[in-house]
Structure 1
């Protein structure tokens, strides 16, 4: 069994896999890391490998206490990946984006793939049908957009995510909801349309914490899977084992 751990900007997600089968998903805060990991290991005593992908400031030291019971692997740029990295600054490419690109390459062979990860930030990653990672884009996610409007203006309130009642809003709060939600939806559809205009044989993968909220609002047909990064982390580790 493998325990895959994704350390994000705001929270940690983990999943237990037996081969390619996802058995259970866990979500917890960074402050709960050691206790939560230990509880998972106690529940699934056959876990032999702990695989970590991190874009956060959580130190490797936080995982060291588990070395006596499982093999720990931190995914890095030195690992084997199933694509050619054409990024001009490959060492600055986030590990989470590399893992997503690997998962898309392995799960959807011989296709053009656009992976959209909608979390704290929204990342766009494109891998062509010849398994070349060509790059993508990064923009603020829903929460960051709400916070930016509040933090960088004098009077706009800090709101939490809510489905806008009208496209043309009639109050300040409704205007913020319409601008944040509809703005991001239009952005995502716009990115998709740009790629579809250039490439055929195309699949769009939407993942991340805001997957469910955004998926039903997009005009384009997508493959939505909020656990795609965890599944990709498991697949990336399996690929490493076979190719090292």
Structure 2
């Protein structure tokens, strides 16, 4: 397979637990992005392929639902991100086959944008994931915890009287003066404490660490965090683009 020219448009397909993101990159520049569901995904992919003359694409799916759609596309240069995919870092996870493809992409993005540096990527989505790669390019692992919506839903589901609440749009007071406010404080402020504690641990152990916050709930959290962080809602897409770019280089084929 020949290496592609960097001016060729890359199509990135990211299927999460609740939605599908379709993005087009020219080199490292994001030029188009839509959010779709499974029913409309095929039509949107066809639109992007025609509009940008897509010759190369990558799929990251935590459900595998979109894979059959992509499998039918007449594009030779396509990749399905998995534990068998060659990556630009050394994976030291003890159970690599269970490592989520979204976490692989986030680490690839960190190494691509911050090479030879320690980086912690926090993805605040359905679950919150913490992934650390050291300055030597060694992915060491991280942590997984319930996301904001999951925390609210679990309190409602496992109790008889606590209400089913939505995620607040802004910061909340520490001392809740009603049941609603108390739940919001427990979830939002509890998440902030968790993140600040995790960040402090990595900074103490590894000194200089880049902190990247991404995911659907990043905007609900970053202003309350004490630490200096990079907030990038499209970081996963950028990581997938980095993996695809790496696949199209000889390094990936020789690794």
**TM-score, L = length of structure 2:** 0.90
Please say which of residues 228-237 and 158-167 is displaced more in the overlay.
158-167
In 1, the alpha carbon distance for the partners of 2:188 and 2:38 equals 27
- The count of residues paired between Structure 1 and Structure 2 equals 242
In 2, the alpha carbon distance for the partners of 1:42 and 1:10 equals 26
Pair 1:185 & 2:192 matched:
yes
Contact preservation (8 Å) 1:4, 1:16: yes
Pick from 40, 43, 48 the counterpart of residue 35 of structure 1.
43
In 2, the alpha carbon distance for the partners of 1:90 and 1:70 equals 27
Residue equivalent to 1:114: 120
- Alpha-carbon deviation of 1:124? 0.3
In 2, the alpha carbon distance for the partners of 1:214 and 1:70 equals 41
Residue equivalent to 1:21: 29
Please say which of residues 231-240 and 76-85 is displaced more in the overlay.
76-85
**TM-score, L = length of structure 1:** 0.94
Pick from 81, 103, 107 the counterpart of residue 97 of structure 1.
103
Contact preservation (8 Å) 1:116, 1:125: yes
In 2, the alpha carbon distance for the partners of 1:100 and 1:164 equals 26
In 1, the alpha carbon distance for the partners of 2:54 and 2:178 equals 53
Residue aligned with 1:216, SS: helix
Pair 1:208 & 2:218 matched:
no
Contact preservation (8 Å) 2:38, 2:66: no
Structure 1, residues 17-70: CA drift from partner, whole Å, max 9, x if none? 1111110111122332212222323432x21122101112415212233x2256
Contact preservation (8 Å) 2:171, 2:220: no
Q: How is 1:43-62 mapped onto 2 (pairs within 5 angstroms)?
A: 43-44=51-52, 46-62=53-69
- Alpha-carbon deviation of 1:151? 0.9
In structure 2, the gaps of 5 or more residues are 1-8
- Counterparts in 2 of 1:27 and 1:198: CA distance versus 1, 3 Å: same
Residue equivalent to 1:124: 130
- Counterparts in 2 of 1:165 and 1:198: CA distance versus 1, 3 Å: closer
Please say which of residues 53-62 and 76-85 is displaced more in the overlay.
53-62
In 1, the alpha carbon distance for the partners of 2:218 and 2:23 equals 18
- Alpha-carbon deviation of 1:105? 1.0
Pair 1:198 & 2:202 matched:
no
Contact preservation (8 Å) 1:164, 1:177: no
